[in-house]
Structure 1
Amino acid sequence: MASSSTAAAFVVLPFPSPSSSDDSDDANTLPPPPVTEPEVASPHHPPPPQLQQLERDCNLAMKELARAGDVDQVVHLFSDLMLSASSAGVPPSVLCYNTLLNALAEEGRAVEARRVFDGMLAAGVAPNASSFNILVKLYAWRTAEFHLAYDEIHAMRRHGVVPDVGTFSTLVTGLCRAGKLDEAWGVLDWMLQEGCRPMVHTYTPIVQGYCRQGRIEEATNLIGFMEEAGCPPNAVTYNVLIRALCDDARFDEVEQVLAEIETKGHQPSTVTYNIYMDALSKKGMAKEALKQFEVLQGKGLHPTAFTLSIILNCLCCNSRFSQAIPILERSTELNWCAAVVAYNTVMSRLCDMGRWPAVLELLANMIKKCIVPNSRTFNIFIHSLCIAEKLSVAKKLVYNQGFPANVVTYNTLIHSFYLSGEACEAESMFAYMTEVANIAPDEVTYTIMVDGLCRQGKFDKATNCFKESLKDRLSKDLLTTLLNRLARSDRNGNILVTFQEIERQGFVCGYMIFEDTVRSICQVGFRQHIKMFNLQFLLDGMLGPGKEVYPVHKG
């Protein structure tokens, strides 16, 4: 059976991010790759020293490439290693095979991973526990083919390998992610029958599974059971419970859990307080969140970038910029981790208040501190310029490609040009975005364009723009926007063309779309007796002779 440290390194429970923002420093991450065990004895002669060094170097390089997400390069590098090993008359080691297996498993490339494993067996390289654990993770986490995960565990003994706590914990985690909690308990019984004692990393996924299903009392009871079973919960276990309580706004119970943690001789981590403060902030309880920040500091815990972002957001929501900006500027001096996240938080609030010079000043300060702005920073700045009616400056920045503009950037500018009555500039920006910058428009882009063109009376152009959007999918919201505008202007012909194009593109208009169409038409005056004939004409044209309204969609 693997040691406690090995199992702890093998399975680290992933928990939901405390913020939906991409700027969170507590982002939801998958557990790290399995810890590779010492290489088992090989029937081959040991490789020469030069090949051993090459294997070590290649293995390190493959791991780095895998962390960077470049799995294809991992495959290529292993192929090169295979050629060198073959010329020396020996296959690559199990360590190198495991690195490749894990990279493929992380990407969910099950067929390739299976082929690599079979190739390892054919080459006479004996798999170890990590080899099988990787496959169990692949089938239990990535592909949810649990019968294959069970098959791998049963196959381990045929190869002289004993399933360890990491093997079973991996399977339990996958089952809990899929909501199969009863089956996960069955795996725990199986572990005990095999003489393998469950660890905290085995129980914690079940705690999280209960929390995801809203069964917080059962999660709490399980934590109590863990204590009685001599397997006390760790910080991750408590964080899972605290997050669930925060999601339900049960803050009094959060305080009880925090007190319980300290009673047992443990100390909540910065991540724990981040979860709590973020929840308080989102519920509009900024003062309470700031009090928790004081508690965090009092315990000598070090704030992360996400901690700072939460606090700055609380201050900004209370319009306490006089406190927020100095904290941001003195973050380095205070030894706080002020990253682009924190600057984005304050800049975004300043932007909402129309204080664009302050946004510009903060942008200059972060660049001076060598903090690299990201696309969100740029979009906040562009939005600030648009609010300040400095559209020409914003346009030049985008055209000069000094910042990483994305579809959000262009949507902001196009919308602002339409609002300011500069329709030609808006259309020019749309053309530049699609033809020069090669950025595909999204649903928001098309909605802005359709609405703007209709406001100018360019109904044919607006209809054509909607047709273009159908290449991606049929957007009900975009269709409603177009129909409302066309109905107000009695553009019956354009309405019929719109529905003909929807059908031509292979979509079937469900009854809800027709219901919304009739509602849109009636809201702009067709319910008046004088226009009822037009409504009947439109319905006949949309449905056509012998057609029915299907509540389905081909796309």
Structure 2
Amino acid sequence: MASSAAAAALLPIPSSPSCSSSEDSDEAKPLPPPPAPEDHSPPPQQQQQQERRRRRGWQMERDCNVAMRDLALAGDVDGVFAVFDELKRAGADGGAPPNVLCCNTLVNALAEAGRAGEALKVFEEMLASGVAPNASSYNILIKLHARQLQFDLAWELIHKSDLEPDVGAYSTLITGLCRAGKVVEAWGVLDWMLEKNCRPMVHTYTPIVQAYCSDGRIEEAKLLMAEMEHVGCLPNAVTYNVLIRALCDDGRFDEVDQVLVESRTKDWKPTTVTYNIYMNGLCRKGKAKEALEQLDVMLGEGLDPTAYTLSILLNCLCHDSRLLDAIYLLQRSTELKWYAGVVAYNTVMSRLCEMGKWMAILKLLTDMIKKGIEPNTRTFNILIRSLCVGRKSSLAKSLIHSQGFPANVVTYNILIHWFYYRGKLTEANRLISLMEEKNIARDEVTYTIIVAALCREGKFDAATGFFLQSLKSGLSMDVLTVLLSRLVHADKIWEINRIFDRKDLAPDHHVFDLTIRTFCRAGYCCLRWDAPRIHEGNLEMQQTVELDGESGSGQLAVATIGGP
């Protein structure tokens, strides 16, 4: 850069003044000092304000990212979007825009929720806003492409990204290939990793182990795990859990015991998940006693059971009708320091209902209320059904009028079915009216119960009327099946023509197919196809159903129109 003196020498010479006195002469005066360079930096107070603003922005980014991750873990993707939009608005108002971590959190949440298009759009917006992606960004995209079986795009991303692919990128691609059953291709990626001097980790091998186990190739999975140990990449609890699940599915419980014994000398420890897998496998093979023994082993290892542990054992015990053991397990739940919630109680109560033990259900209901466990609608519906089976339908009906009883359409279906079954049509009709008063819409099950009951009583006109009412919420093939079967059984097949003539019913080929099959099963008809003809540019085939029953003979023509 030129000096001040040199710069001054390049300036034009000023014109001579009109007065030549020495006082006014420039030569008599020293040159003025060069101007000081301009200082554009803000004053200290403003600098402090800017620093505080930056720190607040960083803190907001950090807090928002934590909140977004928590929402993503809870499955609330829309909540993640809302926090991200709030951060964007703050950036537009002078704050810090979303950084790469926040963008990654949103893209990953969308990818996990299967919203691939939105995830890619957010990634493109991130690039457009000048936020540089990192290795995690590319790993998320690779996972997204792999889950959509777009392995060519995932592979292209690995090759074309500015960042050197890490073990996470390769492992993600291997996982996707294994889930798609492309184990050979997964091995190819593993070989490529080794060529690139990228050392595989345990989560690189575990998907291949899982693929082998899913295909029933357990011995190959065990050989691979042995090879992992040989190269110093020790299998962890997740890898062993995959193997244990496969052994349980194959009924090889002795080998599971051996794997658990060997864990004491190897660098992995069974977890609660490990024992849950083992107990679930035992239960599915009808080994409830052995499953309970594993619960004691698990407790001896200092591991706490979970709600899933309790669910596994209760389902197993109920399936084997060991209700006393199931109830005892519920009573031990406080001692075992696990939460026996309403689902656990419902599981046992449902099995008690099937066995007609309504008194035991009432006792369990009292027990759960004392423990502060709030019953839900399913709990009360189980109770209602058990009271009906126990011939306490009057008590069951009175419960729906109790304050706080969360009666729904299932509740009314249970009661309506029972009163119709007992021949108490008046009580059933009152319940139907009560449903209307409480704005509880009938569902397909309601109409099926009503139509079947009215047909049993020989009230076919009323049954047909309810069927036509059901059409307001869409045609139900179940309701139609019941009505057709009952009409045919009562030798009232010609009533079907009256139904099909209704303008509010537009039967399609499924309806006609059901009708024809119902007739034929009852021995009322034979079929023939008439000669095809062209009608308005379409090929029309007509199927004629020839009816021959006690009520008379006739024909029902069903037109089937094909393409041009």
CA distance in 1, matches of 2:60, 2:554: 73
TM-score under structure 1 normalisation? 0.76
Taking structure 1 as reference, are residues 91 and 270 closer, same or farther at Cα in structure 2, changes over 3 Å only? closer
Taking structure 1 as reference, are residues 260 and 375 closer, same or farther at Cα in structure 2, changes over 3 Å only? farther
Q: CA deviation at 1:446?
A: 4.4
Instruction: Give the corresponding residue for 1:455.
Output: 456
Instruction: Give the corresponding residue for 1:10.
Output: none
Are 1:149 and 2:164 counterparts? no
The one-letter code sitting in structure 1 at the alignment partner of 2:458 is: G
Q: CA deviation at 1:186?
A: 2.7
Q: Which runs of 5+ in 1 are unaligned?
A: 1-44, 551-555
1:518-529 alignment runs, 5 A limit? 518-522=519-523
C-alpha contact (below 8 Å) 1:200/1:231 kept by paired residues: yes
Q: CA deviation at 1:310?
A: 3.5
1:183-332 alignment runs, 5 A limit? 183-262=185-264, 264=266, 266-316=268-318, 320-332=322-334
Q: CA deviation at 1:222?
A: 3.1
C-alpha contact (below 8 Å) 1:463/1:494 kept by paired residues: no
CA distance in 2, matches of 1:468, 1:212: 49
Q: Which moved more, 1:237-246 or 1:309-318?
A: 309-318
Taking structure 1 as reference, are residues 416 and 389 closer, same or farther at Cα in structure 2, changes over 3 Å only? same
CA distance in 1, matches of 2:186, 2:433: 54
The one-letter code sitting in structure 1 at the alignment partner of 2:54 is: P
**More helix by proportion, 1 or 2?**
1
Partner residue of 2:548 out of 533, 536, 543: 533
Instruction: Give secondary structure in 2 for the equivalent of 1:509.
Output: helix
C-alpha contact (below 8 Å) 1:139/1:146 kept by paired residues: yes
CA distance in 1, matches of 2:276, 2:508: 46
Q: CA deviation at 1:187?
A: 2.6
Instruction: Give secondary structure in 1 for the equivalent of 2:270.
Output: coil
Instruction: Give secondary structure in 2 for the equivalent of 1:492.
Output: coil
C-alpha contact (below 8 Å) 1:277/1:310 kept by paired residues: yes
C-alpha contact (below 8 Å) 2:80/2:106 kept by paired residues: yes
Q: Which moved more, 1:351-360 or 1:148-157?
A: 148-157
Q: CA deviation at 1:92?
A: 1.9
Instruction: Give the corresponding residue for 2:414.
Output: 412
Instruction: Give the corresponding residue for 2:59.
Output: 53
Q: CA deviation at 1:221?
A: 3.5
Q: CA deviation at 1:535?
A: 9.3
Taking structure 1 as reference, are residues 68 and 426 closer, same or farther at Cα in structure 2, changes over 3 Å only? farther
Instruction: Give the corresponding residue for 1:125.
Output: 131
User: Which deviations, in whole Å up to 9, do the C-alpha atoms of 1:248-268 show, x marking residues without a partner?
Assistant: 334344334434444535443
Instruction: Give the corresponding residue for 1:77.
Output: 83
C-alpha contact (below 8 Å) 1:496/1:538 kept by paired residues: no
TM-score under structure 2 normalisation? 0.75
CA distance in 2, matches of 1:293, 1:461: 57
Q: CA deviation at 1:431?
A: 6.2
Instruction: Give the corresponding residue for 2:486.
Output: 485
CA distance in 2, matches of 1:351, 1:65: 39
The one-letter code sitting in structure 1 at the alignment partner of 2:151 is: F
CA distance in 2, matches of 1:233, 1:496: 69
The one-letter code sitting in structure 2 at the alignment partner of 1:533 is: D
Instruction: Give the corresponding residue for 1:63.
Output: 69
The one-letter code sitting in structure 1 at the alignment partner of 2:291 is: A
Q: CA deviation at 1:488?
A: 0.8
Taking structure 1 as reference, are residues 88 and 378 closer, same or farther at Cα in structure 2, changes over 3 Å only? same
Taking structure 1 as reference, are residues 420 and 510 closer, same or farther at Cα in structure 2, changes over 3 Å only? closer
Taking structure 1 as reference, are residues 526 and 284 closer, same or farther at Cα in structure 2, changes over 3 Å only? farther
User: Which deviations, in whole Å up to 9, do the C-alpha atoms of 1:371-401 show, x marking residues without a partner?
Assistant: 3334433332232222233334434544557
CA distance in 2, matches of 1:387, 1:293: 35
1:308-457 alignment runs, 5 A limit? 308-316=310-318, 320-398=322-400, 402-405=404-407, 408-426=410-428, 429=431, 436-438=438-440, 441-442=443-444, 444-457=445-458
Taking structure 1 as reference, are residues 390 and 83 closer, same or farther at Cα in structure 2, changes over 3 Å only? same
C-alpha contact (below 8 Å) 1:223/1:233 kept by paired residues: yes
CA distance in 2, matches of 1:172, 1:473: 46
Are 1:88 and 2:103 counterparts? no
CA distance in 2, matches of 1:307, 1:464: 50
CA distance in 2, matches of 1:425, 1:172: 63
Taking structure 1 as reference, are residues 535 and 46 closer, same or farther at Cα in structure 2, changes over 3 Å only? farther
User: Which deviations, in whole Å up to 9, do the C-alpha atoms of 1:340-376 show, x marking residues without a partner?
Assistant: 3332232223222222222122122222222333443
CA RMSD in angstroms comes to 3.8
Instruction: Give the corresponding residue for 1:163.
Output: 165
Are 1:99 and 2:100 counterparts? no
Instruction: Give the corresponding residue for 1:180.
Output: 182
C-alpha contact (below 8 Å) 2:487/2:495 kept by paired residues: yes
C-alpha contact (below 8 Å) 1:484/1:520 kept by paired residues: no
User: Which deviations, in whole Å up to 9, do the C-alpha atoms of 1:100-158 show, x marking residues without a partner?
Assistant: 222322322222222221111111111112222222233323x443343334333432x
The one-letter code sitting in structure 1 at the alignment partner of 2:414 is: T
C-alpha contact (below 8 Å) 1:305/1:336 kept by paired residues: yes
Q: CA deviation at 1:325?
A: 2.9
Q: CA deviation at 1:96?
A: 1.9
The one-letter code sitting in structure 1 at the alignment partner of 2:344 is: A
CA distance in 2, matches of 1:473, 1:174: 41
CA distance in 2, matches of 1:485, 1:362: 41
Taking structure 1 as reference, are residues 437 and 486 closer, same or farther at Cα in structure 2, changes over 3 Å only? same
Instruction: Give secondary structure in 1 for the equivalent of 2:130.
Output: coil
Q: Which runs of 5+ in 2 are unaligned?
A: 1-50, 527-545
C-alpha contact (below 8 Å) 2:547/2:554 kept by paired residues: no
CA distance in 2, matches of 1:247, 1:48: 57
CA distance in 1, matches of 2:494, 2:446: 24
CA distance in 2, matches of 1:285, 1:500: 58
Taking structure 1 as reference, are residues 500 and 266 closer, same or farther at Cα in structure 2, changes over 3 Å only? farther
CA distance in 2, matches of 1:435, 1:166: 60
C-alpha contact (below 8 Å) 1:290/1:314 kept by paired residues: no
Instruction: Give the corresponding residue for 1:111.
Output: 117
Larger Rg: 2
Instruction: Give secondary structure in 2 for the equivalent of 1:533.
Output: strand
User: Which deviations, in whole Å up to 9, do the C-alpha atoms of 1:406-442 show, x marking residues without a partner?
Assistant: 5544443333232232345445545665784555725
CA distance in 2, matches of 1:394, 1:476: 31
Q: Which moved more, 1:144-153 or 1:315-324?
A: 315-324
Q: CA deviation at 1:489?
A: 0.7
CA distance in 1, matches of 2:185, 2:437: 53
Taking structure 1 as reference, are residues 467 and 176 closer, same or farther at Cα in structure 2, changes over 3 Å only? farther
Q: Which moved more, 1:471-480 or 1:223-232?
A: 471-480
The one-letter code sitting in structure 1 at the alignment partner of 2:175 is: T
Taking structure 1 as reference, are residues 80 and 342 closer, same or farther at Cα in structure 2, changes over 3 Å only? closer
Instruction: Give the corresponding residue for 1:35.
Output: none
Instruction: Give the corresponding residue for 2:144.
Output: 138
Taking structure 1 as reference, are residues 369 and 494 closer, same or farther at Cα in structure 2, changes over 3 Å only? same
**More strand by proportion, 1 or 2?**
2
C-alpha contact (below 8 Å) 1:413/1:426 kept by paired residues: yes
Taking structure 1 as reference, are residues 302 and 71 closer, same or farther at Cα in structure 2, changes over 3 Å only? closer
Taking structure 1 as reference, are residues 399 and 188 closer, same or farther at Cα in structure 2, changes over 3 Å only? farther
CA distance in 1, matches of 2:499, 2:187: 55
Q: Which moved more, 1:84-93 or 1:252-261?
A: 252-261
